[in-house]
Amino acid sequence: MANQKKKMSFEEALAGLEKSADILKKDGTTLEAAIEGFEQGIEYYNYCNDMLNDAKQKIEFFEKKEA
Amino acid sequence: MAVKPIRVSQLNGYIKRVLQSDPLLGNVSVIGEISNLKYHSTGHVYFTMKDEASKISCFLAADNLKNIRYELTDGIEIVANGYIFLYERGGSYSLNVREITIEGIGNLTVAFERLKEKLSKEGLFDEKFKKPIPYFPQKIAVITSETGAAVRDIIKIVKSRNNIVDVLVYPCLVQGPGAADEIAKAIDEVNRLFPEIDTMIVGRGGGSMEELWAFNEEIVARSIFASKIPIISAVGHETDFTISDFVADKRAETPTAAAQMAVPDIAALKEYVKNEKENLIHNMERLIKYIELRVTGSGVDALAASMNHRLMFHAMKVEALQKEIINALYSRLGEWSSRAERLKVSLDALNPRNIMDRGYAAILDGRGKLAGSADGFAVGDSLTAVMKDGNIICEVAEIRREDHGESKEKNEL
């Protein structure tokens, strides 16, 4: 999971979070499925949140090397 | 004055020297309309420039064509800079063109439409080639003038929306001769040196059509098309459309709009993600409440009722079985007692005492054993006759066998 998470894009994690919330809304969701969905959703949330708080922006100007 | 006649080639050679040594004719700019435009397979271009009264043949060498910033077409008015050249073999002269500029919105628009049509036919604007702009980029590049308004606007907007994405500004000329070349090279170079860049913004702030022209040049269009990195074209104002806009993966009306397109608003995303988490928790709580309700409410009672029902059912079953077993036992018992009765009757029938009532006696030999036959008795043996009411001890006086012969023989033995 840790490896997978590194490769996961923000959009994928966000889609995962949205899907998890939907699973819990569906009729006939078993308690087990709901708990699993919930835990995954929280993981997706944490992942999104980590990305959103990774504020280490760099703004730089490229210096052309004169030939 | 009579002069010694000279040969044709000598005359043309002389004229060539006169023409080509003239300082004015060595560097002249001519205004005129293009006609008879012909692209030769060698890469050279031949055309005629004319005005209302006159015309001149023009030659544009392939080497110089590369620097021409416009798509040429018949009927367009140009300013051609070059020098007069004389072809000695044909005795004709032409304007050897080094540079072409086009002035005026009308003429520029013609050149613009020409190139647009050409690239469109080639498929450079096709939707199928458009790459999606990444939603959550880690790093973007901005190709524009480092001193222009565009770079300031873009950085301002990026910073106000997003404190995560890295921005690489790749400075280049955005107007004048050479600008298109720099822009095209910058696009190629960012692709080569920074393949990790998610999105590129290529553009500049507002200006006249001439000032924006670099973004209407074919060389820029080709580089944008070849870019592996998705490109947002952001040139001038809302009303300015350039060739770059058409070939880019996305057109932004302004550099500011490009920045908004390129990076997501982190605060809004945080809010959205937080809402989604709350949604998740809310849905979970609702589900738990629902399950709880089912378990505590109707759940336990229904369970108890169902258990009672099952218990009763089993109890009834046990009771029925019990009755069945008792019945079976009784019927067995009846069967056995009638059988015993029958046996008793037949036993009674066989009771020897009953026979003795009718006068029969049982004979016992000397050892007290029941003797069923006269055989085994000899004269003088004692025997006991058992009668119904007592025993008589007797002595054998004579034996009369039913079968004499055999008994005698036996006796002898």
Taking only the tens place, the pLDDT of each residue in B90-147 is 999 999 999 999 988 899 999 999 999 999 999 999 999 999 999 999 999 999 999 9
Q: Does B162 touch chain A (CB under 8 A)?
A: yes
Taking the whole predicted model, whether its pTM rises above 0.80 is answered as no
pLDDT-derived band of residue B80, with 50, 70 and 90 as boundaries? very high
- Which residue, B198, B70, B180, is CA-closest to B135? B198
10 Å Cβ neighbour count for B156? 13
A11, A21, A52 ranked by CB distance to B276: nearest = A21
ipTM of predicted complex: 0.86
10 Å Cβ neighbour count for B274? 14
Burial B204-230 (b: 16+ CB within 10 A, else e): bbbbebebbbbbbbbbbbbbbbebebb
For B323, which DSSP code?
H
Region of poorest pLDDT, from A59-63, B78-82, B238-242, B357-361: B357-361
Provide the pLDDT for residue B63: 93
- Which residue, B57, B105, B103, B107, is CA-closest to B82? B57
pLDDT above 70: residue B407: no
pLDDT, tens only, B316-327: 999 999 999 999
Interface subset of B 141-160, CB within 8 angstroms of A? 146, 155, 158-159
Cβ contact, residue pair A24, B166, below 8 Å: no
Distance of CA B226 to the CA centre of its chain: 27
Provide the pLDDT for residue B249: 97
The mean predicted confidence, pLDDT, of chain B is: 90
Provide the pLDDT for residue B400: 81
Q: How far is B53 from chain A (nearest CA, A)?
A: 50
Residue of higher predicted confidence among B394 and B242 = B242
Average pLDDT for B389-404 = 82
Domain ranges of chain A: 2-52
pLDDT-derived band of residue A66, with 50, 70 and 90 as boundaries? low
Give the H or E element holding residue B141.
strand B139-144
Strands (E) in B154-311, as ranges, are: 166-171, 199-204, 231-235, 250-252
Provide the pLDDT for residue A65: 62
A38, A54, A58 ranked by CB distance to B280: nearest = A38
pLDDT-derived band of residue B70, with 50, 70 and 90 as boundaries? very high
Range list of H helices, B194-228: 218-226
Give the residue from chain A lying closest to B189, CA to CA.
Answer: A64
Cβ contact, residue pair A24, B277, below 8 Å: no
A9, A21, A55 ranked by CB distance to B164: nearest = A55
Contact assessment for residue B286 and residue B232, using Cβ atoms and an 8 Å cutoff: no
Provide the pLDDT for residue B297: 65
Q: Does A30 touch chain B (CB under 8 A)?
A: no
pLDDT above 50: residue B394: yes
Provide the pLDDT for residue B298: 64
Sheet of B382-387, strands arranged across: B362-364, B382-387, B390-395
Residues above pLDDT 90, as percent of chain B: 64
Average pLDDT for A53-63 = 90
Residues in chain A: 67
What is the rounded distance in angstroms from the CA atom of residue B54 to the CA atom of residue B56?
7
Average pLDDT for B258-279 = 94
Q: Which of B276, B278, B290 to mutate to test the interface with A (most CBs of A within 10 A)?
A: B276
Q: Pairing between strand B362-364 and B382-387? A: antiparallel
Q: DSSP string spanning B228-255?
A: SS-EEEEESSTT---HHHHHSSEEESSH
Q: Does A2 touch chain B (CB under 8 A)?
A: no
Chain A environment of B146 (Cβ under 8 Å): 61
Give the residue from chain A lying closest to B268, CA to CA.
Answer: A52
pLDDT-derived band of residue B166, with 50, 70 and 90 as boundaries? very high
pLDDT above 80: residue B401: no
pLDDT-derived band of residue B47, with 50, 70 and 90 as boundaries? very high
Q: Does B268 touch chain A (CB under 8 A)?
A: no
Cβ contact, residue pair B170, A62, below 8 Å: yes
